[in-house]
Structure 1
Amino acid sequence: MTLLELLVVIVLLGLLSAIGAQVIPGDERRLQSASERVEHRLRKARLSAMRSGAAVFVPCESMASSRRGEAAKADRDTGFTVSCTSAAGRERGITFFPDGSSSGETIGFMTGKSRARIRVDALTGTLTFE
């Protein structure tokens, strides 16, 4: 083998390993897809409240589930932890009202060393991803 052939093989192995590393989902990628899924559910609940004219409650437990309408059994089912932070005395979840406002909460996502948050504004009901 010549030196040129050896260099070509090393470059090809480097490219294949770089592509393989992107295909394997890491903590941040899993966390981002989970938070986007929750953000979509919350937007849908807000629109549902505005259309129906009735308040819609989204419990914190249902946000951790990968399947719609089911609460996550444990951290091992989803691979991440969801925590909801609200004012004392409120139920653990978010309520969207017909005028577009909400009960206002912060939803935290954690997996490994990665963290993300979605803030729900109480006055406008809009979502901010951090």
Structure 2
Amino acid sequence: MFINEVCTLMCDDIRIENTNKLILIGLYTPNPANPIPIIGVRGLPLSIPSLTFFQLLDTDLTETRTFQARIEHLDTGRMAAPVLNGQIQFAPGRVPNLIKFTGISITKEGQYSMVLDISDHPVKFTSSFDVKLF
């Protein structure tokens, strides 16, 4: 039994078309100088209405599991958004997982992480991003 992270993308929002195709809005992309996405801001504190994470997970499981997801500042451990609780339905192969945070409060520059903790799984999946003043 395994669950592996194939990729995680961070964007402002995700919409689902009538044809079940996903539209990723405001995709944050890394660049060669910095391998993790950067949110550039003019000042702090900052309130972000939403951040959405699109994940592809690879698994051999056929079951539903609960998860918790959080966004935290790496240096301080301070939560930037309420902890999300949800469920994910696994089926063998690639499984998409959408996690949408609302009411994000950024009070400090630095590196943040979205941490996904799936029940009964020993590994926490982490996706990082930087917040920098410009």
TM-score (norm 1): 0.29
TM-score (norm 2): 0.28
Q: Greater CA radius of gyration, 1 or 2?
A: 1
More contact order relative to length (CA 8 Å, sep ≥ 6): 2
The structure richer in helix per residue is: 1
The structure richer in strand per residue is: 2
